[in-house]
Structure formats: structure tokens, C-alpha cells
Structure 1
Amino acid sequence: MRVMITIQHPGHVHFFRHPIAELRERGHEVHVFARENDVAIELLEAYDIDHEVLAGESGSLVSLAAVQATYETRLLRRARRIDPDVITAIGGVAAAHVSSVLRTKSLVFYDTEHATLITKLGYPFADVICTPSCYREEIGAKQVTYPGYHELAYLHPDRFEPDPAVLESVGLESEESFAVVRLSSWEASHDVGHGGFDEPREIVDRLEDAGLTVLLSAEGEPPADLEAYRFSTAPERMHDLLAFADVVLSEGATTAAEAAVLGTPAVYVNPLSLGYTRELDAEYGLLFEYNGENRHVRGLERAVSTVERPAEEWADRRERLLDDRVDVTNVVVRQLESLARPRATTESTPATNAG
């Protein structure tokens, strides 16, 4: 079959990296198209994934509409030439729109309930919408669920083994206790009007008082007095670092979930709860989410207390999670092959549960 994949965020590269390789190994033709966004193109190049860049970055929500229109127009031209059996993406606005014009199949993966602009623009045009089973919205007959998280498409132990060499690359000793702090820019369409930590300086001081070295990662520019805590590593090495951290504090849900599935306790401070952050908290105790007026204080207290607990406890919790959840790369490949098959044979409907 011929598959088109669209990439509009660095996380999409991670998610589709292994499915792309597997599809090609199985003899399928895969075409990858991307829009410049943060380090998305850098990741595609680091993983040696053939791709074509169709649009640049957007500097604001206003310019995003123009960039998206350019991206969709160019994607449609490529799709007319390729004549794909299926187009897939995360969020899937462009994929769903282009596939509806060409009357080919579209497969959308998503896990972010509060991103209502994306869902309103993409869901009505998609053929199949594939979500984790913890996703809290009922989409209807188009929805396919699976027992997993996006992060298990690339951080499942069958797909990823952390490299301890990353520690030396950021100036850490092998036995040094450290925390990763991730600050968001709050510029995404679904982040407008929200915020996380009240005072980043207080986070650093409290973690250092607890004996932790602090590594700061920030979208955009961090506060000037915290610039010295910012670390530099290749974007594809970030997951290695999360795996060896003692604790991760994040305003972003993806980073918190990545740490959690790697067995690193994660504190997620953000007023927006998601199906997967709630499940990782309530079911597995690997992620602790805090929102509301006291989210900063409560989250910081939790971060300090996690470091005092034995490492074996987090490893045991991760093992229980892995026993319950699937390698999501297998879900992606299976769904693509299932959805594309009717074009070549007879019309059928994909299963309602991919677990």
C-alpha cells in the first residue's frame, strides 16, 4: 500500500518513527511530509527519515492559519500525484481534509481532549479516529480505542533502551541525583489562557535544597536568572535523560507522560487534566497531576517527596503499567494495513477495539 504521513510537531516524529520503519520493512511505500515546528525537522534528519518540508513555522496563532492553509494546499498537490491508500497523522486536520477531497482513507491518532479547535476542524472529515482507551471523549462510530499511550509507540522497552552516555554529555556524574524541569511556552492553540508553575526560581531553589542537580528545559527563553540551569543536548537524546532522572517536573503533559512510562516519577503542573495524565496518576502512581490555586506548592512538595522513596518502587509500578498496556507501534501498523485493505479488495470496517 501507499501511505502518506504528515508531521507538524516534534512529538509526531517520535510517534511515527518506528511505524515508518516497520511499514517500509513490510514492503509498503511511505511518504512523509512535514511543517517546520520547533525541532521537528531536526528530529526527522537525526532519525534519517526521508521527508519533504511543505511549510515553515508560524510565529503566532494568527499566522498559524495562513501556514496551515499553505501546508494543506501543498499536501493536496502531493497526494494527487502519489494517490495514497491511506493518509495518517496526529490531530489530523490536514490529513483528514486532503483525504476527503481525494476520497481516500484517513486515520487520525489523538489523545488531547481539550484541543477543541483541532478536533472540530479534523474529526468530521476523518474516517477513523484512534485514541487511547483512557480518552475521555466519546467520538462515535469512527472511534477505535487501544490500551496504551502515544508515548508507548517510541518508549516501550521493545523500542527503546536508554543510553547512560547522555549523563556525561550534560555534565553529570553517573551516580549524581538530578531533576529535569520542563517549562512550556503556553503559545499552542489549546494552551491559551492557561499556566503552570507560579515561580520557576522557587522550584530550582527547593530542588537544590533537596540535594538535586537541576536541569532546565524551556520552550522559548527561560527567566534570565535561570539561564545557567538550561542544558544542551540533541533533541533525540532527551528521552535518555528522562529515563535516568530522579524526578521530572513539567508544565507539558507529553514530557510528564514520557517520564512516567519510562519509570521516572513525574509531577505535572497544569490546570488542564487529560485522560492519560489522570490514568497515569490514578492507576499507576507514576505521574502526579496538580491544578488549581495551590498547584505550584503541592506539586513541588510531591517532587521532593518522591526522591526519598526507593527506586525499586517506581520500577515495580512501571512493570505493572507495561503488563497492562501495548506496544503502540503495533497498533499503528495494524490499523493502517486494516484501513487501506478495502481499497484493494472489498469494503470492510476496522475493529472497534485495537487492544
Structure 2
Amino acid sequence: MSERVVVTIQHPAHVHFFRHAIGELRGRGYDVRVLVRERELARELLERYGIAHRRIAGSVASPLGLLAVQPRYEYEILRRVRRLEPAAIVGIGEPAVAHAGHLVDGEGILFTDTEHAAVQNAVSLPFADRLYTPTAFWDDYGSHHRRYPGYHELAYLHPDRFAPDPAGLTGIGDEGPLVVVRLVSWTAAHDVGRSGLADLERVVAGLERFGATVRVTAEGQLPPSLEARRLATAPDRIHDLLAEADLFLGEGATMAIESALLGTPALYVSGLRAGVLEELEGRYRLLRWLSADARPIDVLSHARELLRIRESTWARRRRRVLEETVDTTGVIVGAVEDAVRGGRPRESAESTVPEVVRR
């Protein structure tokens, strides 16, 4: 009988992160079961990619709602893991994965790149059998913690996995620079008290005076004056759009990183920081961070400066990133196979995980 692996999904970004690994593991004979928490776009993406899955918890609209549904979600994960008896349980920063790994023979494997998710990290990362983070991750969790040179987003945006296709993109304008604006809902547990772009209408007006075509992707309502600029792009085409754009401007860290890795300059406006964001800004100069209290005039000044830099400069900086990082899907697959074949993490870095992974 083939070894069974459980993958948990709590966010649309997790679908992208795991989808190639799910396919590769299934191609190698593993019985991969996908358990998903209801979340805007997550199940739609799974269906678009043809990934069989089972819904085990409803959606939430606020941090308090997340706290309310979490016990039920953990219970369902534990109940199903007991029944499925997987050799490995995999997730992104998910407490239920770490806890379930201690109730069955399977290894609990967690990935994360988010230091500021302090509460979630405290109740999950120390209890995982294996923890994998980018090398830029600030914190250290001890002997079960492994690092790799890369980013979550390179699990699906590495050139071996993704080639941009602009064909069929609509509503992006034929003249002037294309600016994609991202607004988030700020409903995650680690978003409490956080904020991002202020006076969005003024920012958009300033960009359009500069000759830009502005398209907005948002988790929720937009001001009526901006609704006509809402993106109509299908969720599985968003990375084609980001690759086509001339600038990303927004509150979403994941989309800012995605843009940077595609060679599109990212202007990230938020009170949230992370090691991977600082590395993309300081080492590779593909991303620029502004604090959440940045004035619209300052946001516009930085946006215009970034739009004036030549495309060849962004392409050169992107090449450097790709030369110094790895295909993260290989890390995921290697982590699962190492856990299934070898049990507890070895003290040395020698394993089926790529050689670049280090303690």
C-alpha cells in the first residue's frame, strides 16, 4: 500500500505553495489527501487546478471568528488524521498539524515565513517534528528547524514551474504603465491592530495623472469611485497579470513578494515586516517598504521613482535572486520523503532534502 500524506490548506496562497508538490508526490505513488478550511478563493483554486480535496471548516470574517472556528478545525484535523493514519502531515504554520503529529505515527511538517504571527507560531512551530523556513527567517527554533535559500513563492513562480502568459488578460490598458494595487482584509489573527494604504482614492488619482492604468484587487468592498477599477482577472491568472505589470503597490506581503520574484517592482505599504521582505529589499532591491502611516504624497513619490527605473534593471536583479535560490517545491517534496523514509530529522543536513537546506 502506498504511503499516505495529508496536506492542510487554510489560505489561497497555500494552494499555490503546495500544488506542484501534491502533483509530484502523487506521481511518485503517494496517497495525498488535501484538507481545506473554507476561505475566499482557496477551494476555487483547488478546483481550477483539479486537486481533489475535502472541506473541514467554514470561513471566517474576523480574528474573533477565527478564534471561534479554530477548535472545531483542530478537532476535525485530529479526527481525520487518526482515521487516515498518514506517514506525514504537512501545513503552513498550522497548530493542528503540529499537534496531530504527536497523536499518530506520522511526522508533523510545518513551513512558515511569517515571524509576526506570534501567537500561531508559539503554539505550533516548537511542536512540529520538522520545521522549514527561508534562510532570511529571523527566528530560531532549534534542532528540528531547517532553512533553505528561497521563498515560499518560488514553489510556484520558479522558472521551472511558471512561464508568464499575457494572452487573454483583459482590462489592463494598452498605453502607460500598469499598476496593480492590492488591498487586504486585515482579518487574520496576526493582523489585529494593523493597517495599510491610507486615502486610496487620492493615491489612485495621482497614479492616473502620471499616465498609469490602475487595477485593484481587494478582499472586500471598494469605495464606489474605484469599483470600476476592480480586477476581473481569474484567480489562477493573477501571476500572469503581476508579471505583465510595471508596478505592484499594496498591503499584501505575499503578492508583493510574488511581484518582486517575477521582476515587477513592489511598493509594499504596511506595518508588518518579515525577514523575507527585508532580504528582497536590502539584498536584491526588488521591493521597497513604506510604513502604514506613509502619506499619499510619499507613496506617489516612491511609485513614480520606481516606474522610472528601466525594465532591464529589474530583470537583472531578478536573475540574481534566481541564481541564489532554489525551487521550493523540491524542498517540500524532499522534506516529505525524508520524513517518510528517515523518521526524525538527522543532526546533519544530509537527507533527501536538497543540499542547500541547513540547520
TM-score computed with the length of structure 2 as normaliser: 0.93
Q: How many residues align?
A: 350
Give, as a single letter, the amino acid of the residue that structure 2 aligns with 1:63: G
Within 5 Å, which residues of 2 pair with 1:287-302? 287-291=287-291, 293-294=293-294, 296-302=296-302
**Equivalent residue, structure 1, for 2:179:** 179
Cα distance, 1:142 vs structure 2: 1.7
Give, as a single letter, the amino acid of the residue that structure 1 aligns with 2:306: T
Cα distance, 1:62 vs structure 2: 2.3
Contact 1:35 1:54 in 2 (8 A): yes
Q: Residues of 2 paired with 1:16 and 1:288: CA distance?
A: 27
Change (3 A) 1:297 1:131: farther
Deviations 1:145-179 (Å, cap 9, x if unpaired)? 00000000000111001111243x33533x65210
Q: 1:140 aligns with which of 139, 142, 146?
A: 142
Cα distance, 1:103 vs structure 2: 4.1
Q: Is residue 241 of structure 2 the alignment partner of residue 238 of structure 1?
A: no
Q: Secondary structure at the match of 2:103?
A: helix
Give, as a single letter, the amino acid of the residue that structure 2 aligns with 1:229: R
Contact 1:269 1:295 in 2 (8 A): no
Q: Is residue 24 of structure 2 the alignment partner of residue 27 of structure 1?
A: no
Cα distance, 1:41 vs structure 2: 0.3
**Equivalent residue, structure 1, for 2:229:** 229
**Equivalent residue, structure 2, for 1:191:** 191
Q: Secondary structure at the match of 1:79?
A: helix
Q: Secondary structure at the match of 2:147?
A: strand
Change (3 A) 1:269 1:166: farther
Give, as a single letter, the amino acid of the residue that structure 1 aligns with 2:113: D
Q: Secondary structure at the match of 1:30?
A: strand
Give, as a single letter, the amino acid of the residue that structure 2 aligns with 1:308: R
Q: Is residue 93 of structure 2 the alignment partner of residue 96 of structure 1?
A: no
Cα distance, 1:281 vs structure 2: 0.4
Give identity over the alignment, percent: 46
**Equivalent residue, structure 2, for 1:170:** 171
Contact 1:268 1:299 in 2 (8 A): no
Cα distance, 1:350 vs structure 2: 6.7
Contact 1:99 1:105 in 2 (8 A): yes
Q: Residues of 1 paired with 2:149 and 2:276: CA distance?
A: 11
Give, as a single letter, the amino acid of the residue that structure 2 aligns with 1:301: S
Q: Secondary structure at the match of 1:320?
A: helix
Q: Residues of 1 paired with 2:218 and 2:294: CA distance?
A: 22
Within 5 Å, which residues of 2 pair with 1:1-355? 1-167=3-169, 169-170=170-171, 172-173=173-174, 177-291=177-291, 293-294=293-294, 296-343=296-343, 349=346, 351-352=348-349, 354=357
Q: Residues of 1 paired with 2:289 and 2:240: CA distance?
A: 23
Deviations 1:301-337 (Å, cap 9, x if unpaired)? 1211111121111111100110001110001111111
Cα distance, 1:294 vs structure 2: 3.2
RMSD: 1.6
Q: Residues of 1 paired with 2:67 and 2:176: CA distance?
A: 45
User: Structure 2 unaligned runs (5+)?
Assistant: 350-355
